[in-house]
Every structure is written in C-alpha cells, then in structure tokens.
Amino acid sequence: MVSQDYRKSPEVISRLSPEQYRVTQEASTESPFNNEYWDNEEPGLYVDIVSGEPLFASVDKYDSGTGWPTFSKPIAPTNVVEVPDTSLGATRTEVRSAHADSHLGHVFDDGPIETGGLRYCMNSAALRFVRRDDLEHEGYGEYREVFERPAGKR
C-alpha cells in the first residue's frame, strides 16, 4: 500500500461540525440509531474525518444491534491505536486514529467468533465514507482489491 501523509491540521479541525468536534476531539459519543452510517450497506471505505487515513472497510461491517457502525477489524491496523479507557468507572478499550489522534469509538471482545470475536463500535461523526466506485478518484485506489476478493480472503 502507498504511504500517505495523514495528519491533523487546524484547518480541518475548524471545518468539523460541532458533533464531529465533540466526538473526535473531546471523546464524546453520538446517539445510537441516529447517526449517518449505522445502517449504511453500500460498499466502500471508512476513513478518519480529520486525517483521511483509511480505517475500516464495508466488507468487515456488520449489524451489532447497537445503533453504531460496527466492524470486525480495521482495514489498516497501523492506522488505529487502542488505549485503555476508564472514564466510566470500568475499563474499556478506546480506539483512536494513529495519525490524527481522533477518538473513533471502542473495541469489545464480544463480536462474532467467525470473524475474530471483536466488535469495533465506531462513531459515524468520526468517519467519512468513500464509496467503492469513488476510491480511485479520492486517492484510495490501492484499497479497491479488498472489495474484489472473495469473503474470508483478506
């Protein structure tokens, strides 16, 4: 994969909606079932709203019943960082983007066993969706092959 210069910039931060800012910069959580991507079934790539770094692919998305977009694994594991989170009095694992340090959501170990047992429960407000047909135009052409492989071959 081609290495891009993914980073956080003051210009991008200034263009975030209030909800995107609260989620990505203040580690807030958006409402379940009332967010842009929880029920999106289109093929494509989910990238960090701040840096553009690729995070998750629709081929790894599933309906967890929680009301947030949920994935079994990141498309580029080096683009996500997992850190302990004790903010609610219990230890959870927060997921942040590696290059922009955006709060994305949390990962839990109660996902489907057949896909690795993980549930990456993300906030739509932290993500931008790039449709499969727009990957080349948007600079993510190297990820197109992910959508052309048979299931289980990633």
Helix (H) or strand (E) holding 112: none
Question: Do 46 and 104 meet the contact criterion of CB atoms below 8 Å apart?
Answer: no
Tell me the C-alpha distance between 10 and 16, whole Å: 10
Point out the residues that are catalytic: 121
Task: Fill in the amino acid letter for 21.
Answer: Y
Tell me the C-alpha distance between 84 and 131, whole Å: 32
- Please list, in sequence order, all residues whose beta carbon lies within 8 angstroms of the beta carbon of residue 56, skipping any fewer than 6 positions away: 45, 46, 69, 71, 73, 74, 75, 120, 122, 127
